[in-house]
Amino acid sequence: MYKNIRIYLSYLMQILIVVYSIISLYFGEYLLCIWSLFAFVLTLAPMIIKRKYNVTLSWELNFLIVLILYLHIGGNVRGWYDLFYPFYDKFMHLLSSALVAIFGFVSTVILTRYVDSIKFNRYLTFFFVIVMTMAFGAFWEIGEFFSDILLNTQLQYGLTDTMLDLIFDLIGGSMIGIIGNFYPNKIPKLKHNNDT
């Protein structure tokens, strides 16, 4: 029952992301419209991964992907980033970096299980997750910087804001790196279809 509720909520959030894209287009926010459509495609990533690589991510992880993307798009369209600044911005950096870190951890599990020449131990896994998360966070901040310069947006509010974003990225990545090492059977849950 609880699983079904989350599945329906995921569908609802996916629909809302598309609605937000249409709203953005209507108000001439073309960049946000494109990003909303891209976010919708990202919500389909678990299905694409399953079909292409025959790897099934847990429904909890599927829900988390949709939820974070919905909160990000909704935060831009509905003004939550400005209304609840700086709390909402930092909270989303924490969630987004945790999601990137989960994908980093999942990558190490898949590579260790299915590529004989690659083996990640506990420390290497933690390091890989942190580096991947911080790299993603750095590229995100660079993207915001160029967006502010070239498109006259206001995504960055100065050095302190940028550094706090990166610190929250580090916290999110570290949390998943630690949890992933101590609870490898619970987070994230993976099932390879050939094993069933």
Looking at residue 195, its pLDDT comes to: 47
| Average pLDDT estimate for 130-143 | 94
pLDDT bracket for residue 55 (50, 70, 90): low
pLDDT in tens, 155-174: 888 899 999 999 999 999 99
Pair 108, 183: CB distance under 8 Å: no
The predicted structure's pLDDT at residue 99:
84
Q: Which of 33-37, 41-45, 109-113, 148-152 is most confident?
A: 33-37
Q: Mean pLDDT across the stretch 122-134?
A: 91
Q: Per the structure, how many domains does the chain have?
A: 1
Would the pLDDT of 135 be above 70? yes
- pLDDT score recorded for residue 52: 74
Radius of gyration in angstroms for the set of CA atoms belonging to the chain, rounded to a whole number: 18
Asked if residue 156 lies in contact with residue 80, where contact means CB atoms within 8 angstroms, the answer is no
Q: Which residues of 148-184 are buried (b: 16+ CB within 10 A; e: fewer)?
A: eeeeeeebeeeeebbeebbebbbbbbbbbbebbbeee
- Domain membership of residue 9 as a residue range: 2-195
Tell me the average pLDDT across 123-141: 92
Contact 129, 179 (CB under 8 A): no
Residue written as token pair 């570290």? 174
pLDDT of 62 higher than 70: yes
Distance CA 45, CA 50 (A): 8
Average pLDDT in the 76-94 region?
Answer: 92
pTM to 2 decimal places = 0.79
